[in-house]
Amino acid sequence: AQSVTQLDSHVSVSEGTPVLLRCNYSSSYSPSLFWYVQHPNKGLQLLLKYTSAATLVKGINGFEAEFKKSETSFHLTKPSAHMSDAAEYFCVVSDRNYGQNFVFGPGTRLSVLP
Amino acid sequence: GAVVSQHPSWVICKSGTSVKIECRSLDFQATTMFWYRQFPKQSLMLMATSNEGSKATYEQGVEKDKFLINHASLTLSTLTVTSAHPEDSSFYICSANVAGSYEQYFGPGTRLTVT
């Protein structure tokens, strides 16, 4: 069975400082991993995805994540936070059965302080 | 490309009535569609998976007679909440998958409030 742990339910950073949102996963197979962002009362937007290609994945809006198999981690980073980054972030793991069995992490709420 | 729409975006209904939510893939044919539920300040929980022309597969604990899913075509799936109660109030999100793709494409969600 797959599972996702997002170690921080809430992260608060100042505008212009780096962002780190942590995600650890458990999967019996070689997983696909995704980060989604959700602004209040909105749907999900895909930030980036890992599907067994390069381990360092660059996404939209300056976000990137690194797949580390030895650590079973897929942490999301951004060098400089912007006020518009304040939102809920979900890490998702999927097994190798193409696009099926998405398991969502509990989410991390990112606050950006002026 | 890969746009998924939902209708309505929000709906209010009275307790005991039924409400139907539509999920459409606008520019691709979806092999599989998924329905998720999200309570306030919580994560998404998968309710059911449906393939076109087949009966939906429901997750444990989801009442199939209460949440009716129809996937009549490769571009449309519907979720009907029957005899709705206030505890059914939630944010319902659908997604769609294309055969061979690792991704699910998510709709914008439907906010259901049962009074």
pLDDT of B34 over the 90 cut: yes
pLDDT, tens only, A57-96: 999 999 999 999 999 999 999 999 999 999 999 999 987 6
pLDDT band of B72, cuts 50, 70, 90? confident
**For tokens 């999100």, what's the residue?**
B93
Q: What is the DSSP string of B97-113?
A: E-TT-S--EE---EEEE
Give me Rg for the CA atoms of chain A. Answer: 13
Q: Considering only residues 41 to 70 of chain A, which have any Cβ-Cβ distance to chain B shorter than 8 Å?
A: 41-44, 46, 49, 51
Between residues B55 and A17, the one the model is more confident about: A17
Return the SS3 of A107: coil
| pLDDT over 70 percentage in chain B | 99
Contact B109 A98 (CB under 8 A): no
Ranges A72-76, B62-66, B71-75, B107-111: which has the least confidence: B71-75
pLDDT of B12 over the 70 cut: yes
Cβ-defined contacts of A43-47 (< 8 Å, 24+): A43/B93, A43/B106, A43/B107, A43/B108, A43/B109, A44/A90, A44/B44, A44/B93, A44/B106, A46/B103, A46/B106, A47/A76, A47/A89
| pLDDT over 90 percentage in chain B | 77
Give me Rg for the CA atoms of chain B. Answer: 13
A105 at the B interface (CB within 8 A)? yes
Nearest alpha carbon to residue A35 among A114, A102, A113: A102
The predicted pLDDT at position A97 comes to 65
